[in-house]
DNA sequence: CAGTGATGTAAACGCATGTTTACATCACGA
DNA sequence: TCGTGATGTAAACATGCGTTTACATCACTG
């Protein structure tokens, strides 16, 4: 079993996709440095050497994994009316099946090369669209506020799990988060 | 030169202090993972093996370095009146000669062992005093808000330097930071 | 059906890095 | 002054890990 259902012979595209998906999970869970190529390929069920063959190395795989996650663009159909509530709902959705892009991104800060990649993707595919969506003269400062609050939240949920961040978000904290995000669009 | 002034023969205490100070600088600059023992001892001007002899290894050195930084307690003589302004002033003081504790702390998130140490020190020596100082029923939620904003700020200043965070903080962003910190004590 | 390139694997390689060991050298007391 | 322990150093060691290499196996085409 599991030989003709999820393994239709040999398929490079499918193998590549499996590695990419596994990489997103492992990178989100352990961060770039502690995520080993062997961890990723083991989860994907393939040989470790395929990372180099199909992606050109761990670093390129990271770039592909993060870029793919950011392509599921969050900024679409996001109304200004309940911006805060929607953002917090997305960030805390327990049914989410894909890795949180910001988790993967923040997990790259420890490696100088991965950090450079993450920084470029953050600028081009998050901050630029966000700043444009926010508009106005203070767009950049607003986008910075968005990143500060988001990053702080993800850091303590994923990287430094304190009591306040385990399980559902404490109601008063959630309310503050929603207000902080909403204030970014309301001024 | 530099042989009788800063090198008074052999002094274990002085050597130990030199390693500790160098560690704080290097850890703040490069993070725990990319900070090599050889980098630290080179800056201290001593042999690499002394890290293991005097501190018991890189991990213990990290713990000692972070604990020492946190001992320069920030929470003392901090009035509730201009809390926000004072905090931002401390975080952005260009004349500061010691490493920012939060920089060192956030640089440890990539290593699971260093992260555990950082998390414990953060709880015992930052959050507990802060929560006590804030007081009240919502003290923990307030402390969490403080950490979110602080962490977001340091992440983008040290780890993911965007244009908005290089050089002096943009005035409107600084104002928002001050207000956000002040609101934590004012409710 | 044969052959050839694509796909996948196991093992070895190379390198970086924290740690340990063996040895040298200085300081201080008898 | 002599010797002994503390202090410091250079080199070797051990190991984890990304990558490469050599080989096996499947799939498709003529």
For position A5, what pLDDT does the model report? 42
Contact check, Cβ <8 Å, B138/A172: yes
Distances in Å between the alpha carbon of A179 and those of A43, B114, B143, B145, B170? 39, 34, 17, 12, 22
Distance CA A53, CA A49 (A): 7
Q: Which residues of A touch B117 (CB under 8 A)?
A: none
Residues of A within 8 A of B26 (CB-CB) are none
Q: Give, to the nearest 10 degrees, the angle between helix A171-186 and helix B139-154.
A: 50
CATH class of B12-65: mainly alpha
| The pLDDT of residue A8 | 67
Q: What is the mean pLDDT of residues A54-69?
A: 98
pLDDT of residue B152: 97
The per-residue pLDDT for B2 is 35
pLDDT value of residue A95: 86
Q: What percent of chain B has pLDDT over 90?
A: 76
User: What φ, ψ does residue A185 adopt, rounded to 5°?
Assistant: -90, -30
Average pLDDT over residues A17-26: 98
Please tell me the predicted confidence (pLDDT) of residue B7: 52
Binary contact (B32, A110; C-beta < 8 A): yes
Collect the ranges in chain B with pLDDT lower than 50: 1-5
How far, in Å, is the CA of A121 from the C1' of nucleotide C13? 34
Query: CA of B35 and C1' of D13: distance in angstroms?
Result: 21
- Rounded to an integer, the average pLDDT of A21-39 is 98
pLDDT band at A149; cut points 50, 70, 90: very high
Domain ranges of chain A: 69-186
Chain A nearest C-alpha distance from B49 (Å): 25
Least Cα separation, residue A2 to chain B (angstroms): 34
């Amino acid at each position: 079993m599991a030989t003709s259902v999820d393994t239709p012979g040999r398929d490079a595209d499918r193998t590549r996709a499996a590695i990419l998906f596994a990489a997103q999970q492992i990178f989100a869970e352990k961060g770039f440095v502690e995520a080993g190529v062997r961890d990723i390929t083991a989860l994907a069920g393939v040989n470790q050497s395929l990372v180099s063959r199909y992606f050109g190395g761990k670093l390129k795989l990271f770039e592909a994994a993060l870029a793919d996650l950011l392509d599921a663009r969050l900024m679409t159909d996001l109304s200004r009316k309940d911006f805060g509530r929607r953002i917090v709902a997305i960030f805390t959705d327990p049914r989410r099946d894909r890795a949180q892009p910001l988790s993967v991104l923040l997990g790259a800060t420890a490696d100088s090369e991965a950090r450079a990649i993450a920084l470029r993707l953050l600028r081009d595919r998050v901050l630029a669209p966000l700043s444009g969506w926010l508009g106005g003269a203070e767009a950049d400062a607003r986008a910075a506020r968005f990143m500060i609050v988001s990053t702080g939240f993800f850091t303590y949920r994923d990287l430094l799990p304190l009591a306040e961040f385990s399980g559902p978000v404490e109601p008063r904290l959630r309310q503050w988060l929603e207000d902080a995000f909403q204030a970014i669009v309301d001024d």
